[in-house]
Amino acid sequence: MPQPSRPRKGSLGFGPRSRASSETPRFNSWPDDDGQPGLQGFAGYKAGMTQVVLINDEPNSPREGMEETVPVTVVETPPVRVVALRAYEDTPYGKRPLTEVWTDDVHEDLDRALSVPEDHDADAAEEQIRDALDAGDVADVRAITHTVPTAVEGVPKKRPDVMETRVGGGAVADRLDHGLEVLEAGSYGLNEVFRAGEYADVAAVTKGKGTQGPVKRWGVQKRKGKHGRQGWRRRIGNLGPWNPSRVRSTVPQQGQTGYHQRTELNKRLVAVGDGDDPTVDGGFVEYGEVDGPYALVKGSVPGPDKRLVRLRPAVRPNDQPRLDPEVRHVSTASNQG
């Protein structure tokens, strides 16, 4: 009997499938510089899932202009604090940190995550950055930011999640000035980076499932017929040919499943609210009363509830319009995580 032709199960682009080194995801690329300077990222904590009824505004869609029920993920987004501004210089080995300007207003829980510099001379560091800027040695400007988990009810930790967020848009001098302004302000909100209807890239660490076999881990088929009656239905047939005399990395085997960082592109922000929006049932979800700012992301988001979620303006946005969708109703949350 001829064997059916089918694509392989499981992408090899996500290997090796080991545990994520940190629960705080990292971005290796950022959007192009255009428009006014601003921070190109935000972070929040996943609360759960619900459904919204909104009008389809996708062009050329057979349901354009009609109401649809769309699943969304609720992400609680309290203000993110900015504690330092870091300048980078170009070297033959890539970008290297030049110096940092730290603020004096440091959150009391930050020492749980890192050692805060003592006796830091912020004026001297800023002068060093401006001298390097005049010499044309500053290649990039990024802010050191962190979340405040204690501001989100239900997140069972006090240790902040520290991350690096790029300051983009405009010339390097303008980005430096904007970064210093945000550093002086001490924090910034989600509405300073995103607005409803825009597209964002979402990064998070997926659910951990421990050690699993090749069927669950790679999606290979179970043995059938005579092969399945040999006592090993969920094992692969062999580890490879005689030559090469080694087991290739492409052979599906058991191992760590889940707890991997994944970045999903072009997730639409259905709504960006402050928790008191009457068009979203007062911000109520089954997870609890969302008292502070939140975002509704269309579709699912990697990771379980209460896990850190990072948002970045889409680096490869599609051609769909960036309009503010009309949120008509939010049903009772299903909290599907």
Tell me the pLDDT tens digit for each residue of 278-322.
444 434 444 445 678 999 999 999 999 999 999 999 999 876 555
Q: What's residue 62's pLDDT?
A: 93
Tokens linked to 143: 């802010």
Tokens linked to 264: 């999903």
Residue 225 burial by CB count (10 A; 0-12/13-18/19+): exposed, middle or buried? exposed
Instruction: Characterize 108-123 residue by residue with b for buried, 16 or more Cβ atoms within 10 angstroms of its Cβ, and e for exposed.
Output: ebbeebeeeeeeeebe
Measuring CA to CA, which residue among 332, 321, 331, 333 is closest to residue 56?
321
Q: What is the pTM of this model?
A: 0.87
Compute CA distances 27 → 24, 40, 114, 122, 167, whole Å: 10, 11, 20, 27, 13
- Give kind and range of the element (H or E) at residue 175: helix 172-185
Condensed to tens digits (0 to 9), the pLDDT of residues 77-105 reads 999 999 999 999 999 988 999 999 999 88
Model confidence at 27, pLDDT cuts 50, 70, 90, reads: very high
Condensed to tens digits (0 to 9), the pLDDT of residues 227-265 reads 878 888 999 989 999 999 999 988 999 999 999 999 999
Tokens linked to 209: 């499932």
Model confidence at 71, pLDDT cuts 50, 70, 90, reads: very high
Q: What's residue 276's pLDDT?
A: 58
Q: What's residue 67's pLDDT?
A: 92
**What share of the chain has pLDDT > 70, as a percent?**
89
The angle that helices 122-134 and 172-185 make with each other, rounded to 10 degrees, is 170
